[in-house]
Amino acid sequence: MTITPDQQQRIDDLLLLLARATTPPDVTNQYAAHAADPATLAANAQRRTNLHRALALAVAEPPELLLIAEAPGYRGARRTGIPFTSDDLLVRGVAPLAMFGPQHGFALAEHDGKLLREQTATIVWRTLAHLKVRAAGWNAYPFHPHRANQPQSNRTPRSSELREGQSFLLQFRALFPTLPVLAMGNSAHRALTWLDIPHHKIRHPAQGGAQLFARGLHEFVATLPHPAP
């Protein structure tokens, strides 16, 4: 399958809105088009490139479902630009699903000598690979919320931030209007409910929820018209 000019424009428009968005001091816009530090500016540009590549590939060859979570984590999408990924996943890829990896056009944004892993990203793609199911991911709040003066931390997005994420979530959904939607956790469920987007809620894999997440995903995949073998 190929990507149409209209779909390409929709992706470009979404990336432009992300790049131009302003955030409060306890939120990092990892896609920002403006930064005082040249290294940050270059890293943000690579994150936009990574996300553009991920969305374009998913639109060209649609996955089986959409996964919506809460917000990027400092060890994951805050560094890579792609929901539910880490440095490790971006470089290593998900071989059973032929996703990510440099062979598919992805590259590290941060060059600090670290190759971080994130628990949620690892669990999500391990489970999807086991089920042989591809997914496209997004966060109810697309930027990284952290504790005050602690950018290497995570916090739950405020209700006001989830509201601010609505327009981005709608644009993401519009790229895949017919795919079933799964909400990972309460924040994603709230955001999708506010928008009247039909969805099914499952447990978020973090904080001891890996088994319940895997069970919920497995049960949902079994209901799809053509579940993976």
Residue-by-residue DSSP string for 58-118: HHHS--SEEEEES---TTTHHHHSSTT--HHHHHH-BGGGTBSSGGGT---S--SS-----
Q: Rounded to two decimals, what is the model's pTM?
A: 0.95
The pLDDT, as a whole number, for residue 206 is 86
Which residues of the chain, if any, have pLDDT below 50?
A: 227-229
The pLDDT, as a whole number, for residue 1 is 61
User: What CA–CA distance (Å, rounded) separates 168 from 180?
Assistant: 18
pLDDT digits (tens, 9 = 90+) for 178-227: 999 999 999 999 999 999 999 999 999 988 899 999 999 999 999 988 64
Domains of the chain as residue ranges with CATH: 5-221 (3.40.470.10)
The pLDDT, as a whole number, for residue 228 is 46
The pLDDT, as a whole number, for residue 225 is 80
